[in-house]
Amino acid sequence: MSDIETNGVTVFGDPIANAVEQMTTLIQPSADKCALMADHHLGYSMPIGGVAAYRNHVSPSGVGFDIACGNKAVCLDVNAEHVRASIGEIMDEIWSSVSFGMGRKNAESVSHPVLEDSADSAWSLVRDVSQGTKGNRASLYDIACDQLGTVGGGNHYVDIFIDERDRVWVGCHFGSRGLGHKIATWFVKQGGGRDGINAPPVLLSMDSELGQNYFKAMTLAGKYAYAGRDWVCGKVASIIGGGIVDEVHNHHNFTWIEEHDGEQFYVVRKGATPAWPGQRGFVGGSMAEQAVIIEGVEHAESVGAMYSTVHGAGRAMSRTKAKGKINRKTGEVKTVGAVTSDMMREWVEMSGVELRGGGVDESPHCYKRLDDVLGYHSNTIRILHHLTPIGVAMAGADEFDPYKD
């Protein structure tokens, strides 16, 4: 078996004590079903890699602040050898044409049907949310228009891959940016949420107006996140000069209405990918390692996982440990980081990856190995394609982005 059970929580992978404790003490008492994927680690109010099912509640803190963060990968009808030969120029153009970090840096305006119906009831709802969000001078609709198609910082990226059949893929990872962050902030506060990594989960009854409104706003943020990833993949495909012949797209911070064991549940996946039998997913590793296209399969362990799997390799080292602590005002080094720029550069260069941006807190040293993590889910998924990165673009090391994770 690839999973174990701890106090009613199905756990895949090597159990991380603080994450398991968080799931069993905070989430499991109020949720009807719980599971932890093999890339799990501690998160705000609920572990990353956690899955929780509720019969009649939604949890804004469970979904988290980057609502509908997810992955999209597209396969292009372009010559792989040409892309390899031009990868430096391609990455330069991606770096200048797509916005990483906070705000829009490219001059190109981005439009999408998700923004066109500004009178939609969900947009009217988030306007009310924005009026109650501290420090918000612009409406959330205006913020959403300005940030659509921006990738953000942290572990968010745009990658160019070659698969085992010598086909070119473009992959990206990011979510709903300031729109989702401010929606989450408002509803967590309205639900009585508290600060602190182990704050009790915020639960909103679906019989309440607040619960219904959160679900509506969350769904809008999901459509918005999909639109942003669609635009980025389309933009990068046009830079490379290829047409899109296949695509795989999925959220991993969201709530779905699903049936399990003959009952309907609101299923929260925080850093976990849906993996129903036949459903494909794109799962990334680190900036210098393979990613995969997977497909869910039916198995007894799939039931325990609530048909979910990992969303990435999972962090093995915190950002603070990796980069250390520096006083941003004085420049004083408080603690020395465990990862240096030279260490990261050596790993990336040995992997043959053309890197733009990226800080040491995103170095491969900070992550588990994806193959190891996927091995714990070998009974519940099959790997369809291995994607080897040749180009990676991320926000720069000094780029501040409050909406990054």
List, as one string, the DSSP characters of 189-234. Answer: HHTT--SSTTPPPP-EETTSHHHHHHHHHHHHHHHHHHHHHHHHHH
Contacts of 19 (CB under 8 A, 6+ apart): 36, 40, 41, 42, 43, 47, 48, 49, 50
Is residue 401 one of the residues assigned to a domain? no
- Burial (0-12, 13-18, 19+ Cβ within 10 Å), 388: middle
- The total of other beta-carbon atoms located within 10 Å of residue 166's CB is 10
Q: Is the CB of residue 211 less than 8 Å from the CB of residue 55?
A: no
Domain carrying residue 119: 3-394
Tens digits of pLDDT across the chain (405 residues): 467 777 789 999 999 999 999 999 999 999 999 999 999 999 999 999 999 999 999 999 999 999 999 999 999 999 999 999 999 999 999 999 999 987 677 667 788 888 876 556 788 887 767 655 555 546 788 888 889 999 999 899 999 999 999 999 999 999 999 999 999 999 999 999 999 999 999 999 999 999 999 999 999 999 999 999 999 999 999 999 999 999 999 999 999 999 999 999 999 999 999 999 999 999 999 999 999 999 999 999 999 999 999 999 999 999 999 999 877 777 777 889 999 999 999 999 999 999 999 999 999 999 999 999 999 999 999 999 999 999 999 998 877 666 655
What is the domain-level CATH number for residue 376?
A: 3.90.1860.10
Is residue 53 one of the residues assigned to a domain? yes
Q: How many domains does the chain have?
A: 1
Is residue 404 one of the residues assigned to a domain? no
Is residue 405 one of the residues assigned to a domain? no
Is residue 91 one of the residues assigned to a domain? yes
Is residue 399 one of the residues assigned to a domain? no
Is residue 403 one of the residues assigned to a domain? no
